[in-house]
Amino acid sequence: MNRFLPSIALALAIFPAAFSVFAQTRPADEAPQPPASYYPAPPPLEAPPVQQGAPTAGLTSPLPRTPQKVERTEIAAESEAQLFAGARRVVWGRYAKIKGAKAGEVTVTRQGNLWVVKGRIDSVAPGTEGDWASIDGVVERIAAGVVQIRGEVAFRVAKVEKGTPCKVAGMLTFRRSGKSQVWRLAEGDNPCDGTRERFDLVYEKPAEKRPVPAQPKRG
């Protein structure tokens, strides 16, 4: 029994030193380190510079806010153009069959290479006085049986929208068929009440000017 005492005493002497070294090297026993002030790096003193681009003023949008101005009338059918140049009357289908209805007037004029159309019909049929329809625009293209006008057609009907004129505007298409001498507005539905207005421009043959016979001289 006495021979084991020196070994036990040596072990007891070594254990405290080993425990002390182990305690100093264990990460779990250390106090947690505070996080760095900036992670992963401090912010820059100023934002990165931005390259100056081209000015945006004066750019052309692919969808311009205002329609392109018509500079000249395209004539694709000369015979149609000659016929349309003689359009003189406006007929409004809403009141055309009422007794006492009369046609309105329209003028087709040439201003250089551009054709201009203006017309108006004032209803005089009983019970419709004060109602009217009008057209104002420029001719963009004339083809066989088709006249395209950029402008507006307005309809004033007392019982519709309390008499406020209802307008159809933009590209207006007037069509003629066969030997007819009438061009009817394809977009002729009234936008306020849906009535098919049947708005027509009608050719009118100019009156022939007959020469006045010379009077015989008195002897």
pLDDT in tens, 23-36: 455 555 556 666 55
At 184-199, the pLDDT tens digits run: 999 999 999 999 999 9
Q: Which 8-state DSSP code applies to residue 4?
A: G
Instruction: Write down the pLDDT at residue 51.
Output: 66
Q: Which residues 6+ apart lie within 8 Å of 157 measured at CB?
A: 94, 131, 163, 166, 190, 193
At 44-94, the pLDDT tens digits run: 777 777 666 666 666 665 555 555 688 899 999 999 999 999 999 999 999
Q: Which residues 6+ apart lie within 8 Å of 11 measured at CB?
A: none
* N-to-C CA span, the chain: 188
- The confidence band for 123, taking pLDDT boundaries of 50, 70 and 90, is very high
Nearest to 120 by CA among 70, 160, 172, 156: 156
Average pLDDT over residues 145-160: 96
Q: Does domain 74-203 have CATH number 2.40.128?
A: yes
Measured CA to CA, the distance from residue 145 to residue 81 in angstroms comes to: 10
Are 73 and 109 in contact by the 8 Å Cβ rule? The answer is: no
- The confidence band for 201, taking pLDDT boundaries of 50, 70 and 90, is very high
